[in-house]
């Protein structure tokens, strides 16, 4: 189960609580879901250094640096201080797997 699935499940639970007359519980479940979705967005948009991105991808520093230079990974920072958004790593991992196959 992904975290987004968990947030959706909590929203479903909230609807069930509301249907059964448990308004406060429904609001609490909706609040939990909204907090989780907010955290997921912040996590996905977090800008990583090349070193951090390399660790998450399981690549060397220079390999990530080259992927940025080649335009295969978007630079979310400055040219002199490149950064990679965590959400961009997901697509890059998929591209790397396709190349490996």
Of the pLDDT bands very low, low, confident and very high (cuts 50, 70, 90), residue 101 is very low
How many separate domains does the chain show?
Answer: 2
Cα 28 to Cα 2: distance, rounded to the nearest angstrom: 21
For 70-95, write each residue's pLDDT tens digit.
999 999 999 999 999 999 998 766 55
Q: Are 65 and 39 in contact (CB under 8 A)?
A: no
The tokens 């950064």 sit on which residue? 83
Beta bridge partners of 74: none
CATH number of the structural domain spanning residue 96: 1.10.1660.10
Question: Do 39 and 76 reside in the same domain of the chain?
Answer: no
Question: Which residues, 6+ apart, have CB-to-CB distance to 75 below 8 Å?
Answer: 68, 82, 83, 84
pLDDT tens digit string along 24-71? 999 999 999 999 999 999 999 999 999 999 999 889 999 999 999 999
pLDDT of res. 95: 59
Indicate whether 11 and 26 sit together in one domain. yes
Residues in the chain, total:
101
31, 14: one domain = yes
Residue 34 shares a structural domain with residue 62: no
Looking at per-residue confidence, does 77 or 96 come out higher?
A: 77
Q: Which domain, by its residues, includes 30?
A: 3-45
């Amino acid at each position: 189960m992904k975290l987004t699935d968990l947030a959706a499940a909590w929203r479903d639970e909230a609807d069930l609580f509301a249907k059964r007359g448990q308004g406060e519980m429904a609001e609490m479940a909706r609040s939990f879901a909204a907090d989780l979705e907010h955290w997921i967005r912040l996590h996905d948009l977090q800008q990583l250094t090349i070193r951090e991105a390399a660790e998450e991808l399981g690549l060397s520093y220079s390999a990530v640096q080259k992927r940025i230079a080649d335009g295969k990974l978007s630079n979310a920072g400055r040219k002199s201080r490149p950064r990679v958004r965590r959400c961009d790593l997901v697509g890059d991992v998929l591209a790397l797997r396709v190349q490996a196959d």
